[in-house]
Structure 1
Amino acid sequence: MKSKTEILRMTMLAMLIAIGVVISPILRIEGMCPMAHLINIACSVFMGPWYSLLCATLIGIIRMSFMGIPPLALTGAVFGAFLSGVFYRASKGKLICAVLGEVIGTGIIGSIISYPIMAFLVHKSGLTWFFYTPLFITGTLIGGTIAFVFLAALRRTGMLTKIQRALGARTYDLSNAVSPASAADQS
């Protein structure tokens, strides 16, 4: 039998996937999908790198299957999603590091890997190794900024730690980033 935490974790994952699919067309042009980066970073902070990787992969597969999005839906999401969670954990809970992981993973690694996928598998002409880099970096900066503001607001109110604890995720004591009211809740 599944525990309450496991059920809540799967429910949160399903909700993030659904939200990611629904809001992905907002501000989207080929090679830039800022709302996907918002979901990647939020999932990384809420649940960690492996769940974020799974979330990004499933959103990409759904978008490719039902919305006709090219493989950029995967190459432009999975590396950033995973690195966002890794950087967040390595920094012991710094939100800016989660954003930085998304920018490096998607903006640089994902954009470079997108070239051979789009050029050789999809047969798109006129591409270079860094063709998608400006768009991917711009998209990650837009989505990352929104995610940072959202998650910082949750942290200020103490809700971020409550969400992470409910999901069985790692929490970090960043006393300078936690309001006195939420610090009292933690004891």
Structure 2
Amino acid sequence: MAVYVAVGTIGSQFLWFPTGIAKAYPVQHAVNVMAAVTLGPIPALLIAFVIGLLRNLLGLGTLLAFPGGMIGALLAGILYRLTSKKQMAAVGEVIGTGVVGSFLSVPYAYLLMGTSVGALAFLPGFLVSSVTGALIGLLILSKIKTTNLLHQPLSSK
């Protein structure tokens, strides 16, 4: 989990773009997909929370990291757990962040950031960021071979 938090926090500083009052971080969404597949929904949710918290404490993100990243990570993990398909984790990330997260960001932005915007203000940026990140996460997952080190005999060398 710590490695995902580090990648999500540091990597987000190299690949981001502004989307109105929010900032889009595709690396966050890539980490969400990878954590959802490798660790499950709850650890992915916790990782997204810690990344958002660190980015905010360091002055590198906005409060919108919480509804956007956390919902996407949770839904990615749930859909992967239900289907065992990596593509469904990506779909969960896009729906969770790009659609649900963008709509929940409206009252969140109003109450915590003092910004009054409509739901469609967040939707395009959240969708572009989550689709891009989900595709990056899928690409990385496709290049990683899964092995079970616990069941391999120890070498006698």
**TM-score normalised by the shorter chain: which range applies?**
0.7 to 0.9
Q: What is the match of residue 27 of structure 1?
A: 15
Q: What is the match of residue 39 of structure 1?
A: 31
Work out the number of aligned pairs and report it. Answer: 146
Larger radius of gyration: 1
Deviation per CA, 1:39-58, whole angstroms, max 9, x where unpaired? 01111111100100010001
Distance in 1 (alpha carbons) for counterparts of 2:87 and 2:30:
13
When normalised by structure 2's length, the TM-score is: 0.87
Matched, 1:142 2:136: no
Alpha carbons 1:26, 1:33 under 8 Å: kept: no
Alpha carbons 2:36, 2:80 under 8 Å: kept: yes
When normalised by structure 1's length, the TM-score is: 0.74
Any unmatched runs of 5+ in structure 1? Answer: 1-12, 168-187
Q: Could you say if the C-alpha distance between residues 68 and 32 of structure 1 is closer, same or farther in structure 2, counting changes exceeding 3 Å?
A: closer
Residue in structure 1 matching 2:6, options 18, 30, 33? 18
Q: What is the match of residue 123 of structure 2?
A: 133
Q: Could you say if the C-alpha distance between residues 108 and 61 of structure 1 is closer, same or farther in structure 2, counting changes exceeding 3 Å?
A: same
Select between 43-52 and 67-76 the one with higher mean Cα deviation. 67-76
Q: What is the match of residue 55 of structure 2?
A: 63
Any unmatched runs of 5+ in structure 2? Answer: 151-157
Supply the RMSD in Å over aligned alpha carbons: 1.5
1:1-187 mapped onto 2 (5 Å cutoff) = 13-28=1-16, 29=18, 30-91=22-83, 93-125=84-116, 127-154=117-144, 159-160=145-146, 162=147, 165=148
Identity within the alignment, %: 32
Moved over 4 A (4+): none
